[in-house]
Copies of this chain bind each other. A is one copy, B any other.
């Protein structure tokens, strides 16, 4: 409080006399007068210490201190019991406001966890005269003493001695009211949807999955490599790629004139483009990642990748994040072991660190998801060859929509049958696929017909991870490029890795949003990323 008061006072002084303030400070009264602001400053000033003397040439920057958040109070084993009797200040957004005869209950959420702080206001509360302006979506500061709660929903609540309305929220226009709103609607207000329970929880679990990803690889000695986003390398087929260009321009009023696009003989003159030739958004960082694995041994990428695919499904995004580890001196077995250990690690991490959010998903989004995830952590993963998988599917006598035959790719229905039915919910890795349905860089097996590829299948989602051992033998790789009608010259640097100190290596790729779906039960991938990009929409 003292610091906040000082902020109010000192911001009116010359900047060089400003004292560093941290954690608790608020701001002077906004132009749009709100009596709360004024009163907050006035009240807080009383307790403010005098500013320290300023140095002749500058003043030191203050210490960075974290505010106490609701998760800190309510997130422990005791759900806040140890805080009873202690003073607490909470800053957050009003979720609901229930006025009773003598008390008003305001649920305040600060985004640090799913739980709100139940705040109990009475006519004695300073600022109670503003209670009529407290609506869903408003931001407030509440100060008081933590007390045991009589209600069954929470262990503690805040007896509020002072409330300050920071930012109002017009209840007639605020798009996210208490009534349940559809996820479809929430996509149209993607800037506000993190203020809902579901999207707050998705954001926190997504964050935990990302951090667990870094922890797993860092603890295993992998180096994070930022593979390039823009690429003019011809290695990636141009199909389904976005062009990145500066040749178009909307500077002319009314839009970009086609005849102002630099051209030569009726064709776009790429030499005048920013990179001097056609450039694209990357579809994968793997080939670049292999270059670093061939020097640092083990690396991983974690960055955005892109597909200009016109797919309007619940499983596709035009922009999504990928995790692509690459292990040197490793074969397909190492690759499978790494993928399994990785998945178990991150799932275990969220089960342990996001308990409240996971309970929420278990109750409201997908019943049984915690059991499903627990079994991923506890059961060892199963592997089987593609050939055996085909036999299993044929032997099942189940009617599938798509045909099952050696040489054809497995469809989602097949994958889900294997992991959900045949193996009763256990993750399964299918390996050694026919080479004709897999990428050129995958290592040919000795049978001449299959490659050392693997797909990790999980219940409900199907394929979550795809990987392979890479072809490290120059002659094999060149033969595969020829078979695939790819231009060897474009791959000069990729082939160099096989010319100079080639090593057996393997890696895999994981679509991060698929992982978020798998871990939260959210069924539409557009709800697994803050601002989804899909055909016809790149809003916000």
Contacts and interface: CB of A to CB of B under 8 A. Distances in A.
A538 B336 contact: no
A530 B446 contact: no
A69 to B, nearest CB: 6
B496 A192 contact: yes
Question: How often does this chain occur in the complex, in copies?
Answer: 2
A146 interface: no
A325 to B, nearest CB: 11
A540 B318 contact: no
A511 interface: no
Given A12-B446, A66-B220, A473-B30, A57 B192 contact: no
Interface string A233-251: 1000010001111111011
A385 B10 CA distance: 14
A445 interface: yes
Interface size class of A (residues with CB under 8 A): 35 or more
A161 interface: no
Contacts of A59: 382-384
A410 interface: no
A288 B540 contact: yes
A503 B166 contact: yes
Interface string A426-468: 0011011000000000010110001000000000000000000
A93 B501 contact: yes
B297 A112 contact: yes
A496 B191 contact: yes
Given A296-B194, A501-B167, A266 B274 contact: no
Contacts of A195: 294-295, 501
A503 B288 contact: no
B26 A331 contact: yes
Interface string A338-381: 10111000000000000000000000000000000000000011
Q: Please list the 6 inter-chain residue pairs (A to B) with the smallest Cβ-Cβ separation, ordered nearest first.
A: A167-B502, A111-B296, A15-B385, A64-B341, A194-B295, A232-B538
15 contacts: A15-B386, A55-B382, A62-B336, A65-B337, A91-B329, A93-B501, A111-B297, A138-B501, A167-B502, A192-B295, A207-B224, A256-B267, A274-B310, A275-B535, A292-B530
